[in-house]
Amino acid sequence: MAGKTVVITGAGRGIGLAAAKALSACGARLIAHSGRDGTSAFLDNIADEVFEGDLSDGATCDAFVDFVKSKAATVDVLINNAGTMLGRFPAEELTVEQYDKLVALNQTSVVRITSGLIPSLKTAGNASIINTVSISATTGGSAGSSIYSATKAFVATYTKALATELATDGIRVNAVSPGTIATDFHERYSSKEKLENTRNKIPLKRLGTPEDCAPAYVVFASDKLSGYVTGQVFEINGGQLIC
């Protein structure tokens, strides 16, 4: 990855931070986005450029695209990783505001940032887009996560559609689909009892870690490692889907 410019959203913690560290260790030049106040500090000595802001706001998405273009003439890899669940909302209690916020960050920001940076990816040649989805895009998730799951399913399908459309431009498009990963995401949205019940059902008998996921981003980022792979959704879940 030496000499390659990688743009990654949601890089301030969890899977995004692990992926950023792995790509930096491989020599990539990182332009990173951090979504929560203060998390950008975790990118010190990892990212070359850092942008902090809430990508559920369209104007912030556009500002991030402009920021990237001001820092790099071309983009070799775009990783759309920013996302959230906000909370677990029973379907009958979901508000319009909650729905709009989830869709804006998990879905619309991916489309907006990707569309804005496609010209930079085309210029680079042999470029790659990597989207972070979720096991819930396939399973539907658990109670209270219907809209989160649906937004991830949208991105998974968007990944496949883009792969077909952008293939002639030499741009590969794939998705990484984590299962239940031990991050502060689940500390916020899942009880200890729920996580333990999930762990017992996983064939490998443990929850995943961000470091379990990071190598997949390196593989999909590298033309040498995955130059003939596009339109795929790669599952990382300890066998959870084969239960």
Q: Is residue 69 part of a domain?
A: yes
Query: Is 99 contained in some domain?
Result: yes
What phi, psi does 129 have (nearest 5°)? -115, 130
pLDDT digits (tens, 9 = 90+) for 169-208: 999 999 999 999 998 776 676 778 888 988 999 999 999 9
Condensed to tens digits (0 to 9), the pLDDT of residues 70-94 reads 999 999 999 999 999 888 888 999 9
User: 243 in a domain, yes or no?
Assistant: no
* Rounded average pLDDT over 16-37: 95
Place of tokens 């990237």: 68
Q: Catalytic one among 99, 148, 217, 228?
A: 148
Q: Is residue 242 part of a domain?
A: no
What angle separates helix 210-221 from helix 14-25, to the nearest 10 degrees? 50
Q: Is 148 a catalytic residue?
A: yes
Q: In CATH, what number is assigned to the domain containing residue 221?
A: 3.40.50.720
**Are residues 190 and 157 in contact, defined by beta-carbon separation less than 8 angstroms?**
no
What length is written for the chain? 243
Longest dimension (CA), the chain: 50
Domain interval for residue 141: 5-236
Q: How many CA atoms lie within 13 A of 103 on its CB side?
A: 9
Domain count, the chain: 1
pTM reported for the whole predicted model: 0.95
